[in-house]
Amino acid sequence: MEFAEYLPIWDRLTPQQQQRIAEVIEFRNVKKGTHIHDSSAECLGLVMVRSGQLRAYILSEDGREITISRLFEYDVSLLSASCVMPDMQFNVMIEAEKDTQFWSIPACLFKNLVDDSLAVAAFANSLISGNFSELMWLMEQIMWKSFDKRLAAFLLEERSIDGTDSLKITHEKIANHMGTAREVVTRMLRYFQSEGMVKLTRGTIEITDTRKLEELVHT
């Protein structure tokens, strides 16, 4: 029952509801790069991350991507259960960015819980509100911020997630996070390099001037 610790509303469920979850909850251990949810497949349900890192993104018809949310240890997400939410129509893909362990509570059971329990309904509410805020923030970034600031913020975020100045990430991957083309990323990174903020080597972006990147984000 280790998962109970990862479900913030566990203590507010009835013993019957807890029992029902314990019977059907699934645990998975997936390798980096695994696609754990896409819009064409069956709805995965509520996801609770034990370790690792997931990213939720949307995909255009011609294959471009943009990251809308990232999930870390102890994060819980309904983006993989949009099928159970009323008036929710969109296609989200989820993939593992690192080797990841997670539990999932099947969509149909979670929907029953939302319908029966005020605590679960309030929890679902707060999850969706959180996603909505994230999306709003992202949209403001895309609409109003220039790409140099967004890229600088992204590099600093990666640095903070990975705990290193030496980022192992391809320009292609960054483009997929940010909803743009690889060439655009490469061009801007070269500009950052010419300004002494990063040093580019094969497969690695080394952050050489954190303060300058931070200044760029905040001006």
CB of 2 to a copy of itself, least distance (A): 25
CB of 216 to a copy of itself, least distance (A): 16
58 is an interface residue for a copy of itself by CB under 8 A: yes
Q: In this structure, are residues 213 and 167 in contact, taking their beta carbons and an 8 Å threshold?
A: no
CB of 182 to a copy of itself, least distance (A): 16
Instruction: Report how many residues bind a copy of itself under the rule CB under 8 A.
Output: 40
Query: Which window, 7-15, 34-42, 83-91, 152-160, contacts a copy of itself (CB under 8 A)?
Result: 83-91
For residues 152-191, which are near a copy of itself according to CB under 8 A?
179
Q: Which of 36, 85, 188, 198 binds a copy of itself (CB under 8 A)?
A: 85
Sign of CA dihedral 99, 168, 165, 70: negative
219 is an interface residue for a copy of itself by CB under 8 A: no
Structure-derived torsion over alpha carbons of residues 141, 80, 71, 10, reported in degrees to the nearest 10: 130
**Bridge partner list, 37:** 94
86 is an interface residue for a copy of itself by CB under 8 A: yes
Q: Which of 11, 87, 201, 203 binds a copy of itself (CB under 8 A)?
A: 87
**Bridge partner list, 27:** 103
Residue 128 vs 217, nearer CB to a copy of itself: 128
Helix (H, G, I), strand (E, B) or coil at 105: strand
Q: Which of 15, 23, 62, 201 binds a copy of itself (CB under 8 A)?
A: 62
Q: In this structure, are residues 43 and 108 in contact, taking their beta carbons and an 8 Å threshold?
A: no
Query: Which window, 42-50, 84-92, 150-158, 196-204, contacts a copy of itself (CB under 8 A)?
Result: 84-92
Residues making up the chain, counted from first to last:
219
Query: Which window, 44-52, 80-88, 168-176, 185-193, contacts a copy of itself (CB under 8 A)?
Result: 80-88
Helix (H) or strand (E) holding 30: strand 26-30
> CA dist 188 to 44, 50, 209, Å?
37, 35, 15
Structure-derived torsion over alpha carbons of residues 129, 159, 190, 146, reported in degrees to the nearest 10: 20
Q: In this structure, are residues 6 and 74 in contact, taking their beta carbons and an 8 Å threshold?
A: yes
What is the greatest pairwise CA distance in the chain? 62
For residues 111-150, which are near a copy of itself according to CB under 8 A?
114-118, 121-122, 124-133, 135-140, 142-144
Q: Which residues bind a copy of itself (CB under 8 A)?
A: 58, 60-62, 64, 66, 68, 85-90, 114-118, 121-122, 124-133, 135-140, 142-144, 179
